[in-house]
Amino acid sequence: MALRDLLNRSDFRLEDLIFPLFVYESENVYEQSLISGHMNKSKVYVDRFEDLLEQLIDLGISQILLFGVPKKRNENGNLSSAKHGVIQKSIRNIRKNFGNNFRIFSDVCLCQYNTSGHCGILTNKTDKRDIIDYSSRTEIDNDKTLVSLGRVSLSLCESGTDFIAPSAMMDGQVLYLRKLLNTHGYEHVKILSYSAKHNSCLYSPFRTNNYLKPDFIDKSSYQCSFYNKRESLREILSDIDEGSDWVMIKPSLWYMDIIRHAREIIKMPIVVQNVSGEYALMKSAMTLEFINGAHIEDKNESIKKPLLSKRFLGSNQKINFRSREKGQLQKLTNMESLTSDGFGWNENSFFNNDPIASFILLLKRAGADKIITYFLLDLLSKKGIDKRTI
């Protein structure tokens, strides 16, 4: 599956892909965040924002999901709703300089703006030590967080966003935000809800990049459990009932069973997000040439399972493979499971001349309508087309 073949498929359009874009308000923080090498093409310092947007237009990219990384954080993250916040200013600049060339999705959460790194406001019951080491289960004040998310959403709508994308996983967030937007005359602004956002170690590169700390933040008190598929499906159906226009499942590759089940029971557009850990895993494999088109004709069977090999996992020691992801990797070491999952995967489909294109196609076959992916510029850049490297 070469890239050109993917783009020429009748069941695939470039409009099916959404580019996640992290806009940094501080150049120093932006430069520091580039050290790890992960997600670099999805990051931009705010003063270079317009140059990147021109590049995206040249590549035919018309959908972007915006995240803001501010200069300063405070306890409640109230800078997330500031009129002159980093994302609010970015949206206005897009509208001023590019009109409606972009469909803008704006993340609605507090985690980038508060000092705890959590998606909501901490309760008074939370042990202060949690804020220092992030090591124990933390409780969130759901109702106070909804009010803050409402303020953020209104400020984004005033700036000109097309979609708000609440990712905080607070109970009742879609219903609350839909009513609030309608009351203030924003019926036309749609909601892409992070309906089944699972508590996962695969967010680790993202968190390390944006907080510049390696600490694990336990969000299990409000994100979906990877043990309970029924809970994930209930969350999706609940968001639809509350007024969501699109629903999201996150992460992607390890959750294709949930994508498939959701596709079978709902007609709502399903979005999946290819998260930083998935990007880092494949990037590492390709950098080390475990997945490389030049090796496809090699008869050595040891390269048939690069994504699942011990050598591959060993190169990503920063990601702690506990939970569902670890279990799925153990199950998938049997190649028979790859050919019998109903996704149309054969043993060579992932390990060919364009593994990224195959990865995207795999998610589409599972049932995703739209894919938010860090791989988008890798797919479309001239270097990415002529030579498969990252």
CA separation for the pair 76, 101 (Å, rounded) = 34
Catalytic residue among 197, 219, 283, 370: 197
**CA 10 from centre of chain:** 25
What pLDDT score was predicted for residue 351?
A: 45
What pLDDT score was predicted for residue 38?
A: 74
**Cis, peptide link before residue 20, omega less than 30° from 0:** no
Please, what sign has the CA dihedral across residues 263, 266, 269, 275? negative
Positions in the chain short of pLDDT 50: 126-135, 293-322, 329-352, 382-390
b/e per residue 349-367 (b: at least 16 CB within 10 A): bbbeebbbbbbbbbbbbbb
Q: What is the pLDDT of residues 139-149, one digit of tens each?
A: 889 999 999 99
Q: Which two tokens stand for residue 130?
A: 């949690």
What pLDDT score was predicted for residue 2?
A: 57
Q: What is the pLDDT of residues 307-366, one digit of tens each?
A: 333 333 333 333 344 455 555 544 444 433 333 344 444 444 444 457 788 888 889 999
CATH number of the 3-277+355-386 domain: 3.20.20.70
**pTM of the entire structure?**
0.81
Domain assignments of the chain as residue spans, ordered by start: 3-277+355-386
Q: What kind and span of H or E run contains 24?
A: strand 17-24
Q: Are 368 and 252 in contact (CB under 8 A)?
A: yes
Reply yes or no on whether 250 is catalytic: yes
What residues does 65 pair with on adjacent strands? 20, 105
Catalytic residue among 89, 219, 250, 283: 250
What pLDDT score was predicted for residue 324?
A: 58
CA separation for the pair 117, 46 (Å, rounded) = 22
Reduced to 3 states, what is the DSSP secondary structure of residue 224?
A: strand
Backbone angle region of 99, left / alpha / beta, with phi > 0 → left and psi within -120 to 50 → alpha: left
